[in-house]
Structure 1
Amino acid sequence: MAGRIFNLCLFCAATSSVMCAVQSGGGSGNTVSDSSSSRGPHFDTAASKNVTALLGKTAYLNCRVKNLANRTMSLQVSWVRHRDVHLLTVGRYTYTSDQRFRAIHQPHSEDWTLQIKYPQHRDSGVYECQVSSTPHLSHFIHLTVIEPDTEIVGGPELFIDRGSTINLTCVVRHSPEPPAYIFWNHNDAIISYSSTRGGVSVATERGETSRSVLLIQKARPSDSGNYQCNPSNARTANVTVHVLNGEHPEAMQHGGNQRMGPSLGALAFISYVLLVYC
């Protein structure tokens, strides 16, 4: 009889059937199991992904466990921080004195979420979502805490010939959402694009990486000074502009600074700005 059972199971595997019928000795009854419904607890990795969070902005690490409620025994889902092997949560309860951490779980939900308020760079690392089965099940999620980065291309110093066009490109990276605005300052004063000086324009492109291009035509010595790019949700960036009267001061070579033009990508964007605004 053992040989008969063995042959039946091989047939099921060969036909890729999700159902397998096994006949026990002497009886006519069959035991039928569906592999999808009888499968024990397991992780839905598509809904339990690595997380990139903004410094200081609440992060949510989600762990989705399928078929947890199908078990006759009571199983718990826990979160463990690997950096110091610290148990953070068990079920809906939090087991840490750090009040930034909280367990979130709605009844009848498959999602077990670890909330981290005001995340810092030190919170980056591996977090383990663990199911208390035997043996226990683990799924690892990596948290990366980043800070928006602001850069003025070609800084920190730019040397411009008098009469040429000053073009400053400010790039904002690693922002979870595009900045609501990007202001430009010159020597701590907000630049007015409708001033009597004329020839001043700005164009901003918002997206995963945001760019703002400031154009000042027919540069004059009074345009020299400190320029500051101020995004609404990131740090400021500065550049010092020197408008030259044809001279070539030693400062141009100091520290490797030279006249610097925009990149090819920036040139294309600037050409678009000139066509639209000039």
Structure 2
Amino acid sequence: MINIQGLRIRTRLIGLCLLIFFTRIKESLSSYSTTMTTTSTTLSPSSILPYFDFDVPRNVTVTVGQTGFLYCRVERLGDKDVSWIRKRDLHILTAGSTTYTSDQRFQVIRPENSGNWTLQIKYPQPRDSGIYECQINTEPKMSLSYNFNVIELKATITGPTDLYVKTGSDINLACKILQGPHELGNILWYKGNEIIDLATNQNEIDNINRISVDNDWTEGLTSR
């Protein structure tokens, strides 16, 4: 005879095991789905912030009238905008490719699809010196500061203004630049309105240079 009671117990046990098995599978699938959703959210493009390239000059010095360039490079900009701000008065100079100042000396240069946002300052004057910021309109705001220096070179020729020498004697003149780094330009000597060309000033008899120039950078630039 078949043990009906035992068969019923075994059937219930099998059903209970299957219920537990499928419950565990459902929980595992739910956990996997949650993990994938979290990962997807973490890697979402909207959560990836832009960043600055810090390998650019941020202490820039130019002379009066020499066009200045402040280089700002932004990676992974996405849908954000880049602005240039003058720190002393918090004036917005540019936003995106648009200029927001009536001073036409300021302009942003950005090649198409480039991460470079360069602020160009034409004909700078000492009053333009100060801190400028390259900003990204993230929340909170991201910014990179630049120190822009505009200097006026001052040169003086030492010694008397009138020199009397005998024919064939040596003449020594010294010009001293009182301000500014020497790499901002070359020293040129003039006779009247013409630049002295060292290559053409040779003695026709012994074929040696009649004029020589020596520049020395110690506490200012001196050209002799």
Range class of TM-score, shorter chain:
0.5 to 0.7
Residue matched to 2:54: 45
What does 1:46-195 align with in structure 2 at a 5 Å threshold?
Answer: 46-69=55-78, 74-152=79-157, 155=158, 157=160, 167-172=172-177, 174=181, 176-179=184-187, 181-183=188-190
Query: Does the Cα contact within 8 Å between 2:82 and 2:95 map onto a contact in 1?
Result: yes
Seen in structure 2, the aligned counterparts of structure 1 residues 43 and 207 have a Cα distance that, compared at 3 Å, is farther
Query: Does the Cα contact within 8 Å between 1:79 and 1:114 map onto a contact in 2?
Result: yes
Letter in 2 for 1:182: W
Seen in structure 2, the aligned counterparts of structure 1 residues 151 and 61 have a Cα distance that, compared at 3 Å, is same
| TM-score under structure 2 length normalisation | 0.61
CA offsets, 1:186-217, max 9 Å, x none? xx9x99x789xxxx95321469886542xxxx
Cα distance in 1 between the residues matched to 2:71 and 2:61: 12
Seen in structure 2, the aligned counterparts of structure 1 residues 178 and 39 have a Cα distance that, compared at 3 Å, is farther
SS at structure 2 position matched to 1:96: coil
CA offsets, 1:54-92, max 9 Å, x none? 2112111111112213xxxx2111011112111110000
Cα distance in 1 between the residues matched to 2:130 and 2:73: 19
Structure 2 unaligned segments of length 5 or more: list them: 1-28, 204-208
| TM-score under structure 1 length normalisation | 0.50
Please, which of 202, 211, 220 is the counterpart of residue 202 of structure 1? Answer: 211
Structure 1 unaligned segments of length 5 or more: list them: 1-23, 214-278
Cα distance in 2 between the residues matched to 1:133 and 1:94: 20
Seen in structure 2, the aligned counterparts of structure 1 residues 202 and 140 have a Cα distance that, compared at 3 Å, is same
Query: Does the Cα contact within 8 Å between 1:51 and 1:143 map onto a contact in 2?
Result: yes
Cα distance in 1 between the residues matched to 2:91 and 2:109: 18
Query: Does the Cα contact within 8 Å between 2:216 and 2:223 map onto a contact in 1?
Result: no
Cα distance in 1 between the residues matched to 2:222 and 2:101: 42
SS at structure 1 position matched to 2:88: coil
CA offsets, 1:194-248, max 9 Å, x none? 89xxxx95321469886542xxxxxxxxxxxxxxxxxxxxxxxxxxxxxxxxxxx
Query: Does the Cα contact within 8 Å between 1:75 and 1:133 map onto a contact in 2?
Result: yes
What does 1:199-278 align with in structure 2 at a 5 Å threshold?
Answer: 201-205=210-214, 211-213=222-224
Which has the larger share of helix?
A: 2
What does 1:22-37 align with in structure 2 at a 5 Å threshold?
Answer: 26-27=31-32, 31=39
Aligned residues: 173
CA offsets, 1:140-184, max 9 Å, x none? 1011012233233xx3559x9x999753322345452213x3125
SS at structure 2 position matched to 1:122: helix
Please provide the CA RMSD for this pair.
4.0
C-alpha displacement of 1:118: 0.7
Seen in structure 2, the aligned counterparts of structure 1 residues 44 and 194 have a Cα distance that, compared at 3 Å, is closer
